[in-house]
Amino acid sequence: MPMVSGYASYFEGRMVEYTGIPVNINSLSGSFNGLNPELRIDGLRLLIGDNVEDQNASALLFDNATIIVDIPRSIWERRWILEDFAVEALEINVEQSLDGDWHLAGFDGGNDSQLNFNDLFQSLQRISLLNLRNVGITFFSNEGNSYSFNNGVATILNEDESHFLHVNASFEQSAQQIAFSFEVVGNEASEIDGKIHLELPVADYSTFLAIGSI
């Protein structure tokens, strides 16, 4: 694992092969956490957009991430299982097309670029524990306005058929944070059942709600 630092370009190539999206990695390092390999990725950028040379076209920007692969479970379940996936300083940019649809920045908003909730739900189940810290999400409306959720933290926990999500974030410059959580049971998006909790601090959300359904 200590030698993995010399394989950043190889790792970039495998990600392109697996996702079809060009990526750029500043540095890569590895070690062992017990029997499980641990990877640290610094400066991971998904280069999506009409011009991949334009860094501002990227929808997902990672400062750094730590990935720990659960080898025993991966062997038992015959698929890659992540014991832990912690991401620091994640920025997500979402744009509104002229017809009002929302998509990750850099995509044209066509049918092929629409996010599939079931595919996303299935992918997240491969992660036992996901911690996101210092997350920012910015929405760009088709009228030229932008709205941001800042200082976000999120935790996703999957155990068999039980799935838990908790998110805290601040809207614009608000000192108070929005709290959102849900706990569901079921491994198919069409069959999940559970509880949702949303706590909104007093603030003016009228301009954000006016941009339409997200």
What is the chain written as a DSSP string? -GGGGGGHHHHHHHHHHHHS--EEEEEEEEEEETTEEEEEEEEEEE--SS-TT-GGG-SEEEEEEEEEE-HHHHHHHTS--EEEEEEEEEEEEEEE-TTS-EEETTS---GGGS--HHHHHHHHTTBSEEEEEEEEEEEE-TTS-EEEEEEEEEEEEEETTEEEEEEEEEETT-SS-EEEEEEEE-SSGGG-EEEEEEE--S---HHHHTT---
Q: What confidence score (pLDDT) does residue 109 get?
A: 45
Q: Residue 158's closest CA among 132, 190, 125?
A: 125
CA distance 135 to 60: 11
Q: How many CB atoms lie within 10 A of CB 211?
A: 18
Confidence tier at 194 by pLDDT (50, 70, 90): very high
* pLDDT value at 213 more than 60: no
Q: What confidence score (pLDDT) does residue 162 get?
A: 92
Q: What is the mean pLDDT of residues 115-119?
A: 64
The answer to whether 83 and 128 are in contact (CB under 8 A) is yes
Q: What is the mean pLDDT of residues 88-107?
A: 76
Whether the predicted model's global pTM rises above the 0.75 cut: no
CA distance 88 to 180: 20
Average pLDDT, the chain: 77
Q: What confidence score (pLDDT) does residue 3 get?
A: 74
Structure tokens at 164: 């838990």
